Amino acid sequence: MKVIKFGGSSLATGSEVEKAINIVRADPARQVMVVSAPGKRFSGDVKVTDLLSELATATQAGQDTTTLVEQILVRYMTIADHFELDGQRVGDHFRNHLQTIAETDYPNSEFLFAAFLAQGEWMNAHLIAQIMAKLHLNARCVSPADLGMVVVGSPRQAQLAPSSYDRLADFPLIPGETIVVPGFFAFDQQGHIAMFARGGSDITGAILARGLGATLYENFTDVSAIYAADPHIIAHPRPINTLTYREMRELAYAGFSVFNDEAIIPAIQGNIRINIKNTNDPEAPGTMIAPTKEVNHHHLITGIAASDGYTVLYIHRYLLNREVGMTMKILQVLAKYHVSYDQMPGGIDDLSIIFAKKHLTTTIEAALTREITTAVAPDRLKWLPDLAIVEVVGEGLSHRTDLIARILTQLATVEIAPVIISQGAARINLTIGVDTTQAAAAVQALYALSEEEK
């Protein structure tokens, strides 16, 4: 049995939905279809999830939402019309459903937003199941609750409760039937909707692949492979045929948006391979993500990713390394304000804490500055606000003693002096912090190394 997931761009229009359904019907092993909300149809278009976010904001503010609701509904009605379903009937049903969502009482605004944002996937799953039934395919919509998925944590950053896997293992898959499952959300123990991280349909697919015992998790999107670098920076970069779980985790963290980095974890736990494929070219092999022992790399560097949007808190204090519990004091301040950090490289007198900007506000930065200053009395504390992370990833980093030296030499040739350099303990990645304005140039300078074969 295979789990197959389609991203929003693969389900944005009736013709795209038709391609997805044909891909499912082409392989009887594809019994579990995970769907996202309809994405952008063209450049400048708006995703349904973003429209639902606007709807949540307007609802909370008590504003008239009639026009916004109709803008959302027309996306589904147009898809229904493509398959000669009664689009008006579909629209009326979903309109009533959204009204019910709007009239529900929620514990707080976070749960309200989660409930609204989840409806893009919910409506799409119900519609696609109807379409497949009209096409005389044996399919039905199954909700995360029916599957026994229960989540814990915050309503907009939920995580699956481990006990859910026992219930998933007991879910009966009927031979010859396809279940259509909305991605991105599940329910907590109180029955409230909670979402996985953005891109959470990838996570849903991985959870189902592990819990239902899939032989393969196929993730269909709008690209034919994962590439060794961002095609917006490098023209026609090399496609990656295979990469390891941990390489994908590092690349996804640093900006490869093809696959959610959290979604790798259930696949690792279930030892399930992930195949990234193109809805518009389903016969292309795509990129296979697999356990390390199954991957035979031909290149020293697997991929280079860059992502801006980082901030560094630099702390200097003489004899920082001598005082027991110094780092703990800093972490306690971060925990007080519910702020997570990405990395924390340091020296005997210095510590740099790398944050994603999305985790910070001006108010939080001021509070961290004040309380860390009180807690550890640094000789110097400053924020470096515009940092980009360039991540060089590959199993070859642990095999060639000269490779890191060559990476830094390449950067020197274009006069880029890293702000931060950090190598992970697994020795498969090198994190290089540079000024945001230098990120693209750094990738361009390093890409030549990724072309070299072993």
The CA distance from 17 to 23, in Å, is 10
Does the pLDDT of residue 134 top 90, yes or no? Answer: yes
Q: Do residues 10 and 148 both lie within one domain?
A: yes
State residue 260's pLDDT score: 75
Sorting pLDDT into bands at 50, 70 and 90, what band is 277?
Answer: very high
The mean pLDDT value of the chain amounts to 90
Sorting pLDDT into bands at 50, 70 and 90, what band is 451?
Answer: confident
Q: Do residues 90 and 211 both lie within one domain?
A: yes
What is the pLDDT averaged over residues 274-293? 90
Q: Burial code of 109-136, b = ≥16 C-beta within 10 A, e = fewer? A: ebbbbbbbbbbbbbbbbbbbbbbbeeee
- Strand pairing partners for 159? 152
The CA distance from 98 to 123, in Å, is 10
170 versus 357: the higher-pLDDT residue is 170
Residue finishing a domain among 191, 222, 253: 222
State residue 81's pLDDT score: 95
What is the pLDDT averaged over residues 320-326? 80
Q: Do residues 43 and 164 both lie within one domain?
A: yes
> Is residue 334 in a domain?
yes
| Crossing angle between the packed helical segments 66-82 and 87-103, to the nearest 10 degrees | 140
Sorting pLDDT into bands at 50, 70 and 90, what band is 92?
Answer: very high
Does the pLDDT of residue 454 top 70, yes or no? Answer: no
24-28, 39-43, 54-58, 249-253: segment of lowest average pLDDT: 249-253
* Global confidence as pTM: 0.86
Residue finishing a domain among 207, 222, 237: 222
Sorting pLDDT into bands at 50, 70 and 90, what band is 383?
Answer: very high
What is the pLDDT averaged over residues 291-311? 83
403 versus 330: the higher-pLDDT residue is 330
Give pLDDT tens digits for 16-49. Answer: 999 999 999 999 999 999 999 999 999 899 999 9
Q: 183: closest CA among 289, 72, 32?
A: 32
Q: Do residues 335 and 437 both lie within one domain?
A: yes
State residue 296's pLDDT score: 76
Six token digits for residue 351: 């510590």
Give the CA count within 13 Å in the CB-facing half-sphere of 185: 26
Domain tally for the chain? 2
Does the pLDDT of residue 424 top 80, yes or no? Answer: no
State residue 399's pLDDT score: 72
What is the pLDDT averaged over residues 64-89? 94
Residue finishing a domain among 188, 222, 256: 222
State residue 223's pLDDT score: 84
What is the pLDDT averaged over residues 435-447? 91
Does the pLDDT of residue 164 top 90, yes or no? Answer: yes
> Is residue 256 in a domain?
no
321-325, 373-377, 432-436: segment of lowest average pLDDT: 321-325
| Crossing angle between the packed helical segments 14-25 and 66-82, to the nearest 10 degrees | 50
What is the pLDDT averaged over residues 364-369? 92
> Is residue 344 in a domain?
yes
195 versus 347: the higher-pLDDT residue is 195
What is the pLDDT averaged over residues 317-342? 87
> Is residue 154 in a domain?
yes
Q: Do residues 154 and 24 both lie within one domain?
A: yes
Q: What is the CATH number of the domain that holds 380?
A: 3.30.2130.10
Does the pLDDT of residue 327 top 70, yes or no? Answer: yes
Q: What is the CATH number of the domain that holds 16?
A: 3.40.1160.10
Q: Which sign, positive or negative, has the C-alpha torsion 183, 223, 226, 44?
A: negative
> Is residue 196 in a domain?
yes
> Is residue 20 in a domain?
yes
> Is residue 242 in a domain?
no
Residue written as tokens 């997931």?
5
Sorting pLDDT into bands at 50, 70 and 90, what band is 394?
Answer: confident
Give pLDDT tens digits for 305-314. Answer: 888 888 999 9
Sorting pLDDT into bands at 50, 70 and 90, what band is 416?
Answer: very high
Q: Do residues 314 and 214 both lie within one domain?
A: no
Q: Which domain holds residue 145?
A: 2-222
Sorting pLDDT into bands at 50, 70 and 90, what band is 321?
Answer: confident
Does the pLDDT of residue 299 top 80, yes or no? Answer: no
Strand, coil or helix: 244:
strand
Does the pLDDT of residue 419 top 80, yes or no? Answer: yes
State residue 453's pLDDT score: 67
What is the pLDDT averaged over residues 12-18? 96
> Is residue 293 in a domain?
no
